[in-house]
Structures are given as C-alpha cells and as structure tokens.
Chain A
Amino acid sequence: MELSKTNLNSLSLLKKIPKSVHQELLSLIFGVLLQQADETEIEKSQSLKQIDSTLLKEVFSGLITIVIQAVKANLNAKSLAQFLKDTSAPAEFAGLLVTAYGKTFQKIKEIHLETTGFYLKKLIDINWRMDYIIKSNKIEQIDKPVYFIDLNLQKKDGQIEKLKFSCDTNQLQDLVTTLKDAVLAKKSLK
C-alpha cells in the first residue's frame, strides 16, 4: 500500500483523541465512504465538535486515505489488521477499524472504485428492426429486406448515445459471424 508519512502519522495522532470519540469517528468515516453521511455530521456531534479542527482534519483525511488504499489493494480484513499492527495505531482502535472495514469493504469497492475508472462508451442495449423495401422515388421494384440496428452506448457520466446503422442480409450474416468468433474467444480464456 502506498501511504505517505502524513497519512501514517494520523494513526499516531489518534492518541490525542479521547477513546470515547473513536467509535463516532469511525462511523463518520465509513458513513462518508458509503455515501450515507457527509462532513456536516461533525457539526451535529457534540463530542466531535470539541476536537481541535486541524487535528480532526488530519486524522480524518489520513484514515479515509488508508481505507481507500486498502480497498484499492484488495486487502481483506485480516491483511489490514496485519498492516495496522506494524504501524503506530492504538490496538483497540485498530480492532474497531478492522471490524468496520470487514463489513463494508466490498460495498466501498463497488461504490467508488468501479465507477470512477476511465473507459470508453459501454454497450448496454441493442434493438433491431427488419423491413422489406418495396420502392423509392428514385427506383422501383427493389424487393429486398433491410435491417436497422440501434445500439445504446452509455458514457461515463451516464448519458446514453444511440448508434444507428442499416445493413442487408449478407452484412448481417458477416456481423453475426464476427460476433460469434468474439464470444468464442472468451470461452477459451477461462
């Protein structure tokens, strides 16, 4: 795990925070990570309000970074416990942290990390329609089938872009063959 000295320092700073507040601090941290609470909770809490704000800031940001880095490195609760043993974190606090982490790290992973990766537009849906062309104003007696295909692509911010194109039977056959090859390729992976 890559953690800066200041982050690790925040663990030793915990000694300056009264033990009675530790649990509340942890609830705040995990609440923020699970997007169920935000920093305004600090104002609402009598005990947290009393702590020196610089100290609180340092500890808060340090702990959040530690948890996020742990999720990024895919640590389970045991590994995190092992890691904390080697730091200056007070043992009781470490225990509480590991317990809370164990319960929530999958959820944190889902919420934050998998939705902020950078990626291309993602295919989410496909619609198709088959028509039979009879005639147009330029040419009559066409008598051929045509397919309209509509792909829904989702961008990172959730916007959906539609990609429409047409093809005749041969082109559709080629497309299906290409896709079948692609699907088979994955089966040979696992």
Chain B
Amino acid sequence: MVIIYFNNEQKEDLQFLQELSFEVGSKIVQVSIDFFKGNYNPKLLQNVSTKINLPQLKVERCVYALSYLFTESSKLSLSKSDFLESVDAISPTKEIEECLLESYQKNREEMRRILSEMSLKLPSIDSLQWRLDVQISSRRTSNEAKPVYLLKLKTSDNRTVWFQADYNELESMTNQLEIALKESKSQHYKRIKKYIK
C-alpha cells in the first residue's frame, strides 16, 4: 500500500477545497490537470478566484498542490484505494473527492506517458533508410563492380547520420540484431521479469 503524503504547507493550500461547491472544485481540478499537461490557463484561474472571492495567489497554490498529487499518483501508479486514502488527508467533500478520483483515473495513462518522456533516456531511432549501389569507378579506379550500401539513420534528437557499409558488414549487423531481438523471448529474460514483479 502506497500513500502520498502532503507536507503542512500543501495541506494548508488545499484547506479551502473543503468549503467549495462541486462546480468550482471541479474547475480547479481541471486546471490542475491542464497545468500538469503543460496547458496553463491563467484566465480560467482568474475567473474562479473572483467567483469564490479569494486572492488569485491562494488558488494558484492550490493548483500546484493538486498537480503534485496527480504527478505522484501517476508516477507510482496508485490504485483506487491508495489514491482515496491519500486524498483523505486533506478531507475534501465527498463530491470533490469523487471528482479527483475520476480525473486521476481518466488521465493516468496520459500523465504516465508525459512522465516517461521526461525521464532519462538516450535518443531513440526514428528511421533507417537504405540504398544499394554498385560502385563502378572513381577518379583513381575504374572498371570495378563493388556493391555498396548507403544508409541514412535518423534519431529522435533530430540527428541524421549518413554512412556506407559493404554487404558483409550489413549481414553481420542484421545477424547481431536478430540475436538481440531473440533475447527478449529467452528463458532468462522471462525469469528476470517474473522475479522483479
């Protein structure tokens, strides 16, 4: 059982959620989700704060604290009960609690996707294009027929690398990568996967 703990500051920030109507509460929750996804809408926030007659800063801090809640719960992939238990600490109204849970469940996968994009990773492969040529002559040699592969590799950090390979190297590269692929179906890998779970 994993629960998220709010520090005292955050608890204070989320205090006024207890007194809010469902309508306003759900709007704040929506803003928090959008904030996490990177779409911050200050106008909506302004409307909300004037409506409930509270300083904008206070509402902002509430949004930050809720974002923290969603970030951590997505990161840990909290179950329903764990999520509800964590939310209990700030004792919102029943309606707001349900609203929070619903938003969490609806957006969890997308939030996890965003988090994994932000995680540490090496640039990944975008595409590999190839072309088979036959080298006929150059300035210094003529009358030969050597097959040559031209390859263009694009990686996710927008780098494009051009290189050439002869048939033997390409074949050996293909064989090596096939072996690598087979590893994901091997007994050893299945055992490790089971053990870690």
Contact = CB atoms under 8 A, between A and B. Distances in A.
B153 interface: yes
Contact of A117 (B115, B138, B181): B138
Contacts of A182: 130, 132, 149, 170, 174
A91 interface: no
Contacts of B150: 120
Nearest to B71: A138
A11 B121 CA distance: 66
B174 A179 contact: yes
The DSSP consensus for interface residues of chain A is: mixed
A189 B140 CA distance: 25
Contacts of B197: 143
Contacts of B151: 123
B77 A141 contact: yes
B142 A173 contact: no
Nearest to A123: B165
A164 B118 CA distance: 19
B132 A72 contact: no
B163 A74 contact: no
A145 B192 CA distance: 11
Interface residues of B, number: 57
Contacts of A176: 174, 177-178, 181
Contact of B184 (A134, A137, A145, A149): A145
A175 B177 contact: yes
B167 A143 contact: no
A42 to B, nearest CB: 26
Nearest to B161: A163
A121 B161 CA distance: 9
B115 A165 contact: no
Nearest to B156: A165
B124 A166 contact: yes
A116 B180 contact: no
B165 A122 contact: yes
B55 interface: no
Interface string B124-160: 1100101010100011111110010111010100000
11 contacts: A117-B141, A120-B164, A126-B176, A136-B120, A143-B193, A165-B124, A165-B153, A176-B178, A178-B128, A178-B130, A186-B149
List the 9 shortest-distance A-B pairs measured between CB atoms, nearest first: A123-B165, A139-B115, A166-B122, A179-B174, A136-B119, A74-B143, A121-B163, A182-B130, A128-B180
Interface of A: 72-74, 109, 112-114, 116-124, 126, 128, 130, 132, 134, 136-143, 145, 147-149, 151, 153, 163-169, 171-173, 175-176, 178-183, 185-186, 189
Given A118-B138, A176-B181, A179-B128, 17 more contacts: A74-B143, A112-B140, A113-B141, A117-B139, A119-B164, A122-B163, A122-B164, A130-B184, A138-B119, A140-B76, A142-B116, A166-B124, A167-B124, A169-B184, A173-B181, A183-B174, A186-B132
